Amino acid sequence: MDLAGSERAAPVGALDLGRSPPDEPVDLTLLLRRRSDQGPYPTLPGPPIDREEFAARYGLAPSDLAAVRAFAASAHLAETGVAIGPRRVQLRGTVATVEAAFATELHRWSGPGGTFRARSGPLGVPASLAGIVLGVFGADTRPQARPHFRWHPDPGPGDVAFAPTEVAAAYDFPAGATGAGATLGFVELGGGFTPQGLATYFGGLGLAPPAVAVVGVDGAQNAPGQSVDGPDGEVQLDLEVAGACAPGASLVAYFAPNTDQGFLDALTTAVHDTTHRPTIVSISWGSPEDQWTAQARSALNDACQDAAALGVTVLVAAGDQGADDGGPPGSLHVDFPASSPYALACGGTRLTLAPTRQEVVWNEEALGEGATGGGVSVEFARPDYQASAGVPPGPGGFVGRGVPDVAGNADPTTGYRVVVDGQSTVLGGTSAVAPLWAALLARCTEALGRPVGFVHPSLYAAAARAAFRDIVRGNNDGYSAGPGWDPCTGWGSPIGTALLTTLRGAAASGAGPAAPPPAP
């Protein structure tokens, strides 16, 4: 029988090189359903659940694991790993055994991202796994996501650039807090960094360089030296912005291949990590909603929901190609996973401080410098916390989740001074906004004495209006900014000290994430 949501189109703009060699190894991730015999899934927002308790109550069920193991044995697939909390079972086979087991045909393709393996049509699963297996990932290895940063190699006379610490000061990040006690995780789908490079950069800011823990996922590793405008730019932008603006926080980079399997495995590894235990996860990668299979969207959305239950805030860049997100001109698309209702979507502004302070929607598309993503999802319904935000109907009239939630400086012509692979440069994009907001929430975490967790209801409460500078000028070539929430910059850019006050008040009133119960 067909696996619901697994339907996939053939790659566009790539050359079919023919059938994959039958003995080529294939590593798979099977996502299983949550167990439901240990009580109902937690209501959000609520007290964060310990990762170990969460795995025992909502991870994969022993009976479901047994069913998958029986299937794998009959299909000549070897088990290579099991993760209870993330509900993942890793299997390894050959092209021939995977094609037979999942009723598909795998081809080699050549495209802009190199050569990769791909399929088209649905996957099949036996009736014994119906309702147990929610997704099968890894047979198709086409590039899935793009980094949302913009390189500005030739600054003009009217351009400016900021150290990340200057942007933090402009947004009134709470003084006296450094993010100590918070752990920031970063999902990275390529590239890397060197400790020496970070030491050079942070030394120039007068700060001690952060010690960044590295976690390899699905065989990926920290692999620097690729190029300023490639994945290295993304990785080092993330670490330098977050590390400069929250110098007391711990940083962890999760490296994975740029595939839907890699994305899912990296995010679920970070969310359920019982070693480093991130309190905030920052993601600066994504692609339009319609470029994902339904099973991938559902799986990543579930991972973000699990994060919310665990008290982990997931921040995602909203995209750098305006309202069409790189689709046909005049179309309207939002980026995923920013459009997950459980992710805090981060849009972009253009911030200038002299001769007077001005902040408008980031839109330099006419100059080839990009524009903030934003709009209305056609895949995720409008969440309750957005019921009074004034989100307009989406394409086709769908009542969808509005993107973004928040914003910050992203225009590369007012970008961030960073060092990538030893080269001083200026980068922008909503990729800078996600780690910027991660650093702000890390400072709030320290000041509050607890993780901020699933923060969305608190940010959409009426009392939170004082925590934002409303951006009312500009557009992203599909939507225009205006008073209140809009599909360009959400509620606007942060006033950090006021945000801390808002979160403190939300917790006191019971409207925000509560502190965990005392240990027995």
Give the C-alpha separation, 383 to 401, whole Å. Answer: 6
Asked about 238 being catalytic, the answer comes back as: yes
Looking only at the bridges linking them, the beta strands covering 25-32 and 133-137 are antiparallel
Cis peptide before 355 (omega within 30 of 0): yes
d(CA 385, CA 136): 32
Of 234, 302, 324, 411, which is the active-site residue?
234
What residue ranges in 21-65 does DSSP mark as E strands? 25-32
Token duo for residue 97:
């055994």
What share of residues in the chain are helix, strand, coil (percent, to 5)? 30, 25, 45
User: From the candidates 218, 238, 411, 421, which is the catalytic residue?
Assistant: 238
Structure tokens at 94: 């050959």
Q: Which of 6, 287, 339, 431 is catalytic?
A: 431
| Locus of tokens 């559902």 | 298
Measured in degrees and rounded to the nearest 5, phi and psi for residue 363 equal -155, 100
Q: Where would I find the H helices in 411-495?
A: 430-448, 456-460
What distance, in Å, lies between the first and last C-alpha atoms of the chain? 48
Contact between 432 and 147 under an 8 Å Cβ cutoff? The reply is no
431 is catalytic: yes
**Judging by DSSP bridges, how do beta strands 212-216 and 150-151 pair with one another?**
unpaired
The SS3 assignment for 206 reads: coil
The span from the CA of 322 to the CA of 489, in Å, is 11
Cα distance between residue 222 and residue 214, in whole Å: 7
- On the question of a cis peptide bond just before residue 42, with omega within 30 degrees of 0, the verdict is no
Distance CA 39, CA 78 (A): 32
**DSSP-based three-state secondary structure for 24:** coil
User: Exposed (0-12), middle (13-18) or buried (19+): which is 346, by Cβ within 10 Å?
Assistant: buried
Non-local (6+) Cβ contacts of 454 within 8 A are 44, 45, 308, 309, 311, 313, 342, 513
Angle at 493 between CA 491 and CA 498, to 5 degrees: 90
- DSSP-derived 3-state class of residue 239: helix
**H/E element, 83:** strand 78-83
Among residues 249, 247, 223, the alpha carbon closest in space to that of 236 is found at 223
Q: How far is CA 61 from CA 29, 119, 125, 132, 190, in A?
A: 16, 30, 19, 10, 33
Q: Are 447 and 500 in contact (CB under 8 A)?
A: yes
Q: List residues with catalytic annotation.
A: 234, 238, 431
